[in-house]
Amino acid sequence: MPARTSAPDRATYFPQLAAERPDIALCRASTVVARAAETAAHEHGIGVGQHLVLKMLAAVGPRSQQALSEELRIDRSVMVGIADELERSGYIRRERDPADRRAYAVTLTAAGRRALTQAEKYIPEFLDRTFAALTTAERDQLAALLGKLLT
């Protein structure tokens, strides 16, 4: 009878996987963080995609849905649903873009700015909880590395 080998412990296997296949490890970590972010976001009344759109509009001003979709890396069909929900909630307005009459400019409303301010209040606690295994320096390094990958 062959000797029974024990399965690798998750605590030892995932660091090995990350060293061998950082692409897969990043996908797995991304899935875990995305699920936690969606759960936390919905507890506070606004989805992650909606939050991203409001945050970008607050930072850069009115943009077309296409520009928002491209910059935030949100599929165009998903962006339509996000914009529809934000508009129904009164958080954005879609108006003809004066520079391009074929396009619509998405504009943040006062209600959208208030919703964003409210949603932003829980982010520091969420990040602390989600990234508790990392030191402050490691979190900063992770943020810098992810920024490089996303440029």
State pLDDT tens for residues 112-132.
999 999 989 988 898 999 999
Share of residues in the chain with pLDDT > 90 (%): 54
* Burial group, residue 151, by CB count within 10 angstroms (0-12, 13-18, 19+): exposed
- Give me the residue spans of the domains in the chain: 45-120
Q: How far apart are CA 43 and CA 84, in angstroms?
A: 20
Per-residue pLDDT, averaged over 104-108, amounts to 92
Between strands 92-97 and 100-108, the pairing is antiparallel
pTM for this entry = 0.77
Per-residue pLDDT, averaged over 91-105, amounts to 85
Q: How far apart are CA 74 and CA 52, in angstroms?
A: 10
User: Given the structure tokens 């759109």, which residue do they identify?
Assistant: 53
- pLDDT classification of 81: cutoffs 50, 70, 90: very high
Residue type, 117: T
**Per-chain mean pLDDT for the chain:** 88
Q: Which two tokens stand for residue 45?
A: 């009344």
Q: Is the pLDDT of residue 4 over 70?
A: no
The tens digit of pLDDT for each residue in 6-36 reads 555 656 787 888 888 988 888 988 999 999 9
Residue 11 C-beta-side C-alpha neighbours within 13 Å:
1
**According to the model, what pLDDT value does residue 97 have?**
77
Beta strands of the chain (E only): which ranges?
A: 63-64, 92-97, 100-108
CATH code at 45-120: 1.10.10.10
Q: How far apart are CA 142 and CA 151, in angstroms?
A: 14
Q: Which two tokens stand for residue 136?
A: 């402050």
Q: b/e map of 78-89 (b: 16 or more CB within 10 Å)?
A: ebeebbebbeee
